[in-house]
């Protein structure tokens, strides 16, 4: 049975299953696996190494189970081993744990069913290492901006709760016409003074809700739009998304997956709404027999999702019969670009943060100093 037949069988099995779980439902089931990303990475890396060395699958899993000191991971491996010993496929046992990504599961399933599990696990391990390296660079790049924004928020809250209320009383006692900036400061100060005990926690809760809603609900369209319009961060997100396009689609095609099934898997693992919708439209064209050339040309504003240079590489690969290799080349180019952008992120964001902080300080200073100068001027003229 070839890979195409295997995927048709998989589609039939999936059509007989209950409706797919919602993202939020999956989140609730995987709540115990929060913070397990590093363990999942070590698992893939270790099992790939042992399989590549010639160990049997169950022996590899039991060896990693003995080596890991994480209790949650031990339980995960115990359940995977139990499922396999009771006749379950390896990829199915992994999928039931709600710890691994759809791309992880797809690569393992393809390798298991095609007899190239060791090779696919090794490839998956390499891609995970690249992803992890890029995420680490992004985290390091975001440390400085995060600290600045956090300190700015604390300072503003401190001013609103403890400093500005006293200054506002002085401004009221001056009996002069107050500019609009001073009225704005007074209004904000009044909110902090009267409702600070409620207002400050609400801000923190609102930030947490924004993150949760942006990840697990349709509100993600708004949150992603905002993130992609932040200088530097938006560019990094787009470059990482294009790199992911090359890695996922190229890796699946290289493993022998039919193009339609590969595109469907790409859609499943893509969480950025604009890219996901674009891939869906592209899949519709491929299903009716259109080439990538026609698909890119027909889809409106396709160059805003995939740059023209990327589209040309895909088209050239399709015409020459080396589409998988072209996609892997795209992944390599954009992984490098994303890495360079991540390193330059503090330099990009620093001037913007300084302008915001400077503007805030200048606005508060202007609101306080102008009325005082007005009083001094009246006294001098008197």
7-47 per-position pLDDT tens digit: 555 555 544 444 444 444 555 555 566 667 788 889 999 99
Is 174 or 238 the better-scoring residue by pLDDT? 238
Which band of pLDDT confidence, cut at 50, 70 and 90, is reported for residue 219? confident
Mean pLDDT across 185-207 = 75
Neighbours of 197 (CB within 10 A): 9
Is 94 or 376 the better-scoring residue by pLDDT? 94
pTM: 0.71
What is the per-residue pLDDT for 115?
84
What is the per-residue pLDDT for 296?
92
Is 317 or 199 the better-scoring residue by pLDDT? 317
Instruction: Report pLDDT digits (tens) over 281-306.
Output: 999 999 999 889 899 989 988 898 99
Whether 168 contacts 189, CB under 8 Å: yes
What is the per-residue pLDDT for 376?
64
What is the per-residue pLDDT for 20?
44
Mean pLDDT across 191-206 = 74
Mean pLDDT value across the chain: 80
DSSP structure string for 141-155: HHHHHHHHHHHHHHH
Percentage of residues of the chain with pLDDT beyond 70: 83
Which band of pLDDT confidence, cut at 50, 70 and 90, is reported for residue 127? confident
Least confident of 89-98, 188-197, 332-341: 188-197
What is the per-residue pLDDT for 314?
93
Q: Is the pLDDT of residue 253 over 60?
A: yes
What is the per-residue pLDDT for 98?
82
When mean pLDDT is compared over 24-33, 50-59, 188-197, the highest value belongs to 50-59
What is the per-residue pLDDT for 144?
73
Distance CA 360, CA 71 (A): 48
Domain boundaries, given as residue ranges, for the chain: 33-100
What is the per-residue pLDDT for 30?
55
Is 215 or 83 the better-scoring residue by pLDDT? 83
What is the per-residue pLDDT for 284?
93
Neighbours of 63 (CB within 10 A): 15
> At CA 252, angle to CA 251 and CA 258, rounded to 5?
145
Structure tokens at 56: 């049997």
Q: Which positions ≥6 away from 79 have C-beta within 8 Å?
A: 93, 96, 97
What is the per-residue pLDDT for 231?
81
Is 8 or 86 the better-scoring residue by pLDDT? 86
Which of 285, 264, 284, 267 shows the shortest CA–CA distance to 276? 267
């Amino acid at each position: 049975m070839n890979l195409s037949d295997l995927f048709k069988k998989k589609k039939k099995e999936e059509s007989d299953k209950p409706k797919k779980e919602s993202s939020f439902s999956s989140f609730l089931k995987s709540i115990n696996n929060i913070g397990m990303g590093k363990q999942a990475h070590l698992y893939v890396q270790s099992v790939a190494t042992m399989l590549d060395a010639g160990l049997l699958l169950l022996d590899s899993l039991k060896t990693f189970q003995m080596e890991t000191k994480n209790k949650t991971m031990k339980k995960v491996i115990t359940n995977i081993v139990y499922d396999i010993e009771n006749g379950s496929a390896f990829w199915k046992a992994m999928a039931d744990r709600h710890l691994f990504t759809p791309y992880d599961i797809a690569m393992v399933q393809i390798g298991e069913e095609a007899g190239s599990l060791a090779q696919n696990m090794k490839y998956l391990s390499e891609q995970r290492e690249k992803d992890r390296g890029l995420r680490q660079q992004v985290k390091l790049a975001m440390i400085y901006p995060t600290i600045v924004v956090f300190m700015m928020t604390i300072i503003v809250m401190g001013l609103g709760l403890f400093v500005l209320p006293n200054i506002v009383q002085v401004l009221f006692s001056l009996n002069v016409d107050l500019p609009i900036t001073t009225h704005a400061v007074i209004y904000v100060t009044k909110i902090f003074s009267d409702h600070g005990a409620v207002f400050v926690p609400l801000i923190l809760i609102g930030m947490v809700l924004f993150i949760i809603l942006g990840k697990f609900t349709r509100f993600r369209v708004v949150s992603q739009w905002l993130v992609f319009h932040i200088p530097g961060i938006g560019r990094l997100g787009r470059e990482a998304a294009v790199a992911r396009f090359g890695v996922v689609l190229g890796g699946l095609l290289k493993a022998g997956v039919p193009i339609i099934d590969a595109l469907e898997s790409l859609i499943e693992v893509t969480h950025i709404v604009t890219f996901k919708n674009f891939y869906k439209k592209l899949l519709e064209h491929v299903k009716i027999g259109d080439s990538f050339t026609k698909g890119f040309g027909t889809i409106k504003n396709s160059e805003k999702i995939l740059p023209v240079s990327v589209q040309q590489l895909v088209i050239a690969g399709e015409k020459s019969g080396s589409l998988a290799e072209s996609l892997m080349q795209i992944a390599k180019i954009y992984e490098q670009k994303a890495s360079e952008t991540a390193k330059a992120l503090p330099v990009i964001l620093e001037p913007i943060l300084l302008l915001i902080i400077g503007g805030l300080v200048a606005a508060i200073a202007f609101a306080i100093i102008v009325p005082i100068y007005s009083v001094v001027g009246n006294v001098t003229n008197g």
